[in-house]
Structure 1
C-alpha cells in the first residue's frame, strides 16, 4: 500500500474512532441526549459521504491532472437520476431526524407563552401561568443576575438554581429589563427570557453542578451573568425545601455530591 493510501486510511480510522468514542459519553439530561443523538445520526451520514467525495476528488485529480485533451462528460440519465434520488433521500432523512428532535417537549416545550396571554387567559405574573405536572421553578433574569423562586415554599436564590434529579422539571422564565437567555450547555437547555412574557424550559437531569450563562447580549455586564444549576437527588431536594421553607432569600444550597 502506498504512503498516500495509508494516510487516507489512517485518517478515516481516526475520524471513525473519535466518533465512536464521543458517542459513548453519557448525556447529563434528556435534552442533551436528544441533541447529541441527532448530531451522531447526522455524522454517521455525513462522514462516509465526505470521505466518498474526497476519495473521488483525489482520484480525479491524480488520474486527470495531466490530461492535455479533456472531453466533456457524456450524458448518463441513469447516473443523474441516481444521484438526484440519493440526495433527496439524504435530505429527507436529515429533515425527519431534525423534526423529531425539534418537536420533542424537552427541546420545544408545548407551553411557551408570549404576548402575556395563554389558553387560560391573561398572564400578568407567575401566579397566572398554566399548571403542569412537573416540579416548577420561576426564574427571572435581570442585569446582570438570575433569581430563582420556588413558588410553593417562599424560597429565593440568587445565581443558583436547585432542581431535583431524574424528575420532570419546568423552568418558567421572564425578564425584568431586556432580553436574556438561560443557557446550560451540559444539560442542553437554552431558553430566552423576555420582558413581560413567560417562556418555558423543561428537562430531566442527572445529579451534578452545571454552569449556566446568559446567551443573549444584554449590556455591559453580560459576560459576568452566570449561575450554577445544582441537580440533587429528590430526597436531598425535598429536605432542602423543607428546611428553608418560608425563609425568603436562601444562600445555603445543597451539594450534589
Structure 2
C-alpha cells in the first residue's frame, strides 16, 4: 500500500512540474493573430488533457512491470465492473471535451473559411493574393485614405489650383502650395500640395518665367518630385510583390489563387495556410494582433525556384497602414 501511494504521489508531482514548465512557455510565445491564438489555445487545452493521461498510463505500466515482472506464472485477471465503468465514463468525458473544444475552434471564421459564423464588424480589408512562380503578388482594391501624406510623388493627369510659381527650369515649372486632384486610378479627391515640378501638359514653360511668385492653375498636367499633405484618396488600387501589409486589430480577408500551377500560402507565426490553385479562389480570414514582420513561405513544391518563393507579412498600426497605402498609391501614378 505504501509503495502504491508513493508511486501515485511521484506521478502527480511529475505532472505538476511538467505543467508548470509548459505554462510559462505558452505564455511567452504570444500570438500574432486571432487565427494563431485559436489554434494555440486548442493545442494547449488538448496538451493539458493528454499529459495527465499519459503520466497515469505510463505510471501504471511502469508499476506493473516493476511489481509483476519477476512473477514466474501469469495469473488470470478478475472482472472489476467499477473499474470498467470508470474508464468508460472517463474516456467518454475526455472525448466529449476534445470534440467540443475542437468544434469551437474549427467553427471559428478565423480558422475555417467555410464556417457559417459571421465576423464581428465584417472584413475591413480584402486582399487578393496571386501565387506565380516564384513570387507572391498582392492587390488592394477600393482603397480609401483620408489625411495622408507622401513625398517624391509623380502624377499624371492632375489638376492643380492656387499654386505659386517658384522657378522655371529645364525640367519644368517649379511650384509650391495649392491643392491637387486627379482621377487616374481611383480618385485623388484633394491634396494640399507642398511643392513639386510641373513636367508636362502646361504648354510653353517659358511663358511662366515672368509669373514667378504669382498664383496659377493647371489642368491635366504631369507632376514630379512633389510632396503632398492631407490627401484624400478614394476607390484606388494598390499593388505589391512579396510583401503584404496588414493593419493591426482589423479583420482581413485574403482571397488566394494561382496564375500558373499549385502553390500554398503559409505564414506559420500567424497560423495561416491555404492552397493557391489556378482558376480557383480560396479565402482565409484573420485579425493581426501584434505589429511586426512575419515570414511567408510557399508550402507546396512548385518547381526549381520553390525554395526561393519567400515573402513577408508586415503588420502596421492603422495610421502607418494608411500612410503605406497612400505612398504606394502615389508611387504607382508616375
* TM-score of the pair, normalised by structure 2: 0.64
| 1:50 alignment counterpart | 54
2:321 matched to 1:237? Answer: yes
Deviation at 1:107, TM superposition (A): 0.4
Deviation at 1:7, TM superposition (A): 8.4
Deviation at 1:100, TM superposition (A): 1.0
2:304 matched to 1:209? Answer: no
Tell me the distance in 1 between the aligned counterparts of 2:266 and 2:10.
40
| Kept after mapping to 2: 8 A contact 1:169/1:202 | yes
| Kept after mapping to 1: 8 A contact 2:11/2:55 | no
Deviation at 1:178, TM superposition (A): 1.2
Tell me the distance in 2 between the aligned counterparts of 1:237 and 1:71.
73
Deviation at 1:77, TM superposition (A): 2.2
| Higher normalized helix content (fraction of residues) | 1
Measured against aligned partners, the alpha-carbon deviations of 1:86-107 in whole angstroms (never above 9, x if no partner) come to 1122112111111111110000
Tell me the distance in 1 between the aligned counterparts of 2:100 and 2:123.
29
Alignment of structure 1 residues 151-190 onto 2, 5 Å: 151-152=141-142, 153-190=236-273
Gap regions ≥5 residues in structure 1: 113-131, 251-257
Q: Alpha carbon RMSD of aligned pairs, Å?
A: 2.5
Select the structure of larger CA radius of gyration.
Answer: 2
Structure 1 residue runs of 4+, over 6 Å off? 4-10
Alignment of structure 1 residues 140-159 onto 2, 5 Å: 140-152=130-142, 153-159=236-242
Deviation at 1:11, TM superposition (A): 5.0
Gap regions ≥5 residues in structure 2: 117-121, 143-235
Deviation at 1:245, TM superposition (A): 1.6
* TM-score of the pair, normalised by structure 1: 0.82
| 2:280 alignment counterpart | 197
| 1:20 alignment counterpart | 23
Tell me the distance in 2 between the aligned counterparts of 1:73 and 1:249.
83
| Higher normalized strand content (fraction of residues) | 2
